[in-house]
Homo-oligomer: A and B are copies of this chain.
Amino acid sequence: MNKIIEKLSNKNTKSISKAISIVENQEDNYLELLSEIYSYTGKAYRIGITGPPGSGKSSLTDKLIEKIIKNNLSIAIIAIDPSSPFNGGAILGDRIRFVNKFKSNEVFFRSMSTRGFQGGLAMSSNLVADIFDASGYDVIIFETVGVGQVEVDVMEAADTVVVILVPESGDDIQMMKGGLMEIADLYVINKSDRQGSDKLFASLNKALEINDYKNWIPKIVKTVAISGEGVDNLYSHIMEHKDFLNKNMIIKKKLNERYISTVKSFISKKLIDKFWSEKADKVLEKELTVTHQKRLSPYQIANKLLK
């Protein structure tokens, strides 16, 4: 066992935080670190949870965390927090207070913002997950707000994707538009004691029937996060999906896909970084001094630079 793994596997908060910041800031040794921990990854189960603001996502995630801890599993939560100077702080504060309650290294919370990351948030959150994975956390939760491409990208790194909807919010349509329909393994109808819950269930069910799923058919779970109703059921369904992935060797395929996409991202980044030398920048800058009508088209200058 190498030295880094030895430190991480004690789930020492300081060691883990340091490893994360090395990766986040892409410090000089970050690739060595990631290389050293790589063979110790692939053990944690990765759950993605997403839903629009107001869907009760945080409350439901809290209840799920409690359930996981009760099952004597260690858990790391990565909250993908779109940069918000307005309300991000408050939401994070609630979550930090919730996690601190457990006073244990077996629960680790980390938020990541959309700002300041080279290589994209999906990649960065996946690398941070690798650190938790190598540290021996049993479960990793990726928590995102919203329904955009970033969320879809982040969710693609999860083994089980949980999409939360609420009755009568219109969010169901937005969800479907955002491409989450293609990646959801479980749908949660939260606040299911509200009017419109049965209607949402029916329309979702119908949408699932139209789709031609080859493997797993997504399940729908009704919950009331505040009271905890349905959380046990949600947990069972996550475990059921986990078993399904294991039995059908899909989990191995997912690991390979993650490997390929990491390799490809790193190669792309290196190729692009290497290309944009000072000289190339200067050629481009010079062209900008020519008037719009007279300058080379972007494709002509690109080809010139590539030569």
Q: Does A86 touch B at the CB level, under 8 Å?
A: yes
Q: Mark A200-222, 1 if CB is under 8 A from B, else 0.
A: 00000001001000000000000
Given contacts A53-B177, A301-B263, contact A288 B256 (CB under 8 A): yes
In the complex, the chain B residue whose C-beta lies closest to that of A263 is: B298
Q: Which residues of B contact A270 (CB under 8 A)?
A: 302, 306
Q: Which residues of B contact A54 (CB under 8 A)?
A: 170
In the complex, are the beta carbons of A173 and B87 less than 8 A apart? yes
Minimum distance in angstroms from A245 CB to a CB of chain B: 15
CA distance A38 to B299 in the complex (A): 9
In the complex, are the beta carbons of B256 and A34 less than 8 A apart? no
In the complex, are the beta carbons of B39 and A266 less than 8 A apart? no
In the complex, are the beta carbons of A306 and B87 less than 8 A apart? no
In the complex, are the beta carbons of B267 and A275 less than 8 A apart? yes
Q: Which residues of B contact A36 (CB under 8 A)?
A: 297
* Interface of A, helix, strand, loop or mixed by DSSP: helix
In the complex, are the beta carbons of B151 and A148 less than 8 A apart? yes
In the complex, are the beta carbons of B284 and A82 less than 8 A apart? no
CA distance A207 to B82 in the complex (A): 17
Given contacts A34-B299, A38-B298, A85-B210, contact A178 B266 (CB under 8 A): no
Q: Which residues of B contact A271 (CB under 8 A)?
A: 268, 271-272, 275, 306
